[in-house]
Amino acid sequence: MKRVITYGTFDLLHYGHINLLRRAKELGDYLIVALSTDEFNEHEKGKKTYFSFEQRKQLLEAIRYVDLVIPEENWDQKVDDVNLYQADVFVMGDDWIGKFDDVGEKTDAEVVYLRRTPEISTTQIKKSLNEKKY
Protein backbone atom coordinates (compact mmCIF):
# COMPACT_ATOMS: atom_id res chain seq x y z
CA MET A 1 0.00 0.00 0.00
CA LYS A 2 1.37 3.38 -1.03
CA ARG A 3 0.87 6.03 1.66
CA VAL A 4 0.69 9.78 1.03
CA ILE A 5 0.90 12.52 3.66
CA THR A 6 0.07 16.21 3.37
CA TYR A 7 -0.22 19.16 5.75
CA GLY A 8 -2.38 22.22 6.11
CA THR A 9 -4.83 24.38 8.02
CA PHE A 10 -7.82 23.68 5.75
CA ASP A 11 -9.91 26.52 7.17
CA LEU A 12 -12.98 27.64 5.21
CA LEU A 13 -12.76 24.45 3.18
CA HIS A 14 -13.16 25.18 -0.54
CA TYR A 15 -12.79 23.48 -3.93
CA GLY A 16 -9.08 24.32 -4.07
CA HIS A 17 -8.58 22.19 -0.96
CA ILE A 18 -10.65 19.40 -2.51
CA ASN A 19 -8.56 19.55 -5.70
CA LEU A 20 -5.35 19.28 -3.67
CA LEU A 21 -6.66 16.34 -1.63
CA ARG A 22 -7.95 14.54 -4.73
CA ARG A 23 -4.61 14.92 -6.53
CA ALA A 24 -2.68 13.88 -3.42
CA LYS A 25 -4.81 10.74 -3.11
CA GLU A 26 -4.13 9.93 -6.77
CA LEU A 27 -0.46 9.55 -5.83
CA GLY A 28 -1.17 6.57 -3.58
CA ASP A 29 -3.69 4.33 -1.87
CA TYR A 30 -3.96 5.93 1.57
CA LEU A 31 -4.02 9.67 2.33
CA ILE A 32 -2.99 11.06 5.71
CA VAL A 33 -3.76 14.72 6.37
CA ALA A 34 -1.83 16.46 9.15
CA LEU A 35 -4.15 19.25 10.25
CA SER A 36 -2.67 22.29 11.98
CA THR A 37 -3.96 22.64 15.53
CA ASP A 38 -5.50 25.89 16.75
CA GLU A 39 -2.48 26.50 19.00
CA PHE A 40 0.02 25.91 16.19
CA ASN A 41 -1.91 28.21 13.87
CA GLU A 42 -2.13 30.98 16.42
CA HIS A 43 1.32 30.84 18.03
CA GLU A 44 3.56 29.68 15.17
CA LYS A 45 1.75 30.58 11.95
CA GLY A 46 0.12 33.77 13.23
CA LYS A 47 -3.28 32.65 11.90
CA LYS A 48 -6.70 32.80 13.50
CA THR A 49 -9.00 30.18 12.02
CA TYR A 50 -12.73 30.55 11.57
CA PHE A 51 -13.39 26.89 12.38
CA SER A 52 -11.85 25.09 15.37
CA PHE A 53 -9.47 22.17 14.97
CA GLU A 54 -12.26 19.69 15.77
CA GLN A 55 -14.61 21.27 13.23
CA ARG A 56 -11.92 21.30 10.52
CA LYS A 57 -11.03 17.70 11.39
CA GLN A 58 -14.67 16.65 11.06
CA LEU A 59 -14.91 18.31 7.63
CA LEU A 60 -11.74 16.59 6.39
CA GLU A 61 -12.86 13.19 7.69
CA ALA A 62 -16.03 13.52 5.61
CA ILE A 63 -14.05 13.82 2.38
CA ARG A 64 -13.76 10.54 0.51
CA TYR A 65 -10.11 11.10 -0.44
CA VAL A 66 -8.98 11.40 3.20
CA ASP A 67 -8.22 8.22 5.12
CA LEU A 68 -6.73 9.60 8.34
CA VAL A 69 -6.46 13.03 9.98
CA ILE A 70 -3.68 13.64 12.52
CA PRO A 71 -2.75 16.83 14.39
CA GLU A 72 0.09 19.05 13.18
CA GLU A 73 1.49 20.69 16.31
CA ASN A 74 4.81 22.11 15.09
CA TRP A 75 6.94 22.74 12.01
CA ASP A 76 9.47 20.03 12.89
CA GLN A 77 7.24 16.97 13.14
CA LYS A 78 7.14 16.21 9.41
CA VAL A 79 10.13 13.83 9.26
CA ASP A 80 8.88 11.97 12.33
CA ASP A 81 5.37 11.72 10.82
CA VAL A 82 6.68 10.38 7.51
CA ASN A 83 8.59 7.69 9.40
CA LEU A 84 5.83 6.90 11.92
CA TYR A 85 3.10 6.57 9.28
CA GLN A 86 5.46 4.98 6.74
CA ALA A 87 4.55 7.57 4.10
CA ASP A 88 5.94 7.00 0.62
CA VAL A 89 4.98 10.43 -0.71
CA PHE A 90 5.08 13.81 1.04
CA VAL A 91 2.80 16.37 -0.64
CA MET A 92 2.58 20.13 -0.28
CA GLY A 93 1.12 22.93 -2.38
CA ASP A 94 3.46 24.63 -4.84
CA ASP A 95 3.53 27.77 -2.69
CA TRP A 96 5.98 25.75 -0.55
CA ILE A 97 8.36 24.68 -3.37
CA GLY A 98 11.81 23.94 -1.99
CA LYS A 99 10.86 24.51 1.65
CA PHE A 100 10.45 20.83 2.51
CA ASP A 101 13.00 19.15 0.25
CA ASP A 102 14.84 18.08 3.41
CA VAL A 103 11.95 15.75 4.28
CA GLY A 104 12.86 13.67 1.23
CA GLU A 105 16.56 13.84 2.11
CA LYS A 106 15.92 12.61 5.68
CA THR A 107 13.39 9.89 4.78
CA ASP A 108 12.65 7.52 1.93
CA ALA A 109 9.61 9.60 0.90
CA GLU A 110 9.26 11.30 -2.45
CA VAL A 111 8.52 15.03 -2.05
CA VAL A 112 5.86 16.36 -4.42
CA TYR A 113 4.65 19.96 -4.72
CA LEU A 114 1.21 20.16 -6.31
CA ARG A 115 0.00 23.22 -8.19
CA ARG A 116 -2.56 25.22 -6.25
CA THR A 117 -5.94 26.05 -7.73
CA PRO A 118 -5.05 29.62 -8.77
CA GLU A 119 -8.40 31.38 -8.53
CA ILE A 120 -9.26 30.41 -4.93
CA SER A 121 -7.69 30.60 -1.48
CA THR A 122 -8.86 30.94 2.11
CA THR A 123 -7.11 34.33 2.30
CA GLN A 124 -9.05 35.47 -0.77
CA ILE A 125 -12.36 34.29 0.74
CA LYS A 126 -11.68 36.09 4.04
CA LYS A 127 -10.72 39.28 2.21
CA SER A 128 -13.86 39.13 0.08
CA LEU A 129 -16.08 38.56 3.11
CA ASN A 130 -14.49 41.49 4.96
CA GLU A 131 -15.12 43.79 2.00
CA LYS A 132 -18.82 42.93 1.65
CA LYS A 133 -21.33 45.09 3.46
CA TYR A 134 -24.60 43.48 4.49
Residues 25 and 81: their CA atoms lie apart, in Å, by: 17
Pair 82, 5: CB distance under 8 Å:
yes
Active site residue 45: yes
Identify the H or E element spanning 35.
Answer: strand 30-36
Choosing from 2, 25, 47, 133, the catalytic residue is 47
Active site residue 133: no
Residues 92 and 111: their CA atoms lie apart, in Å, by: 8
Choosing from 45, 48, 99, 127, the catalytic residue is 45
**Catalytic annotation, residues:** 45, 47
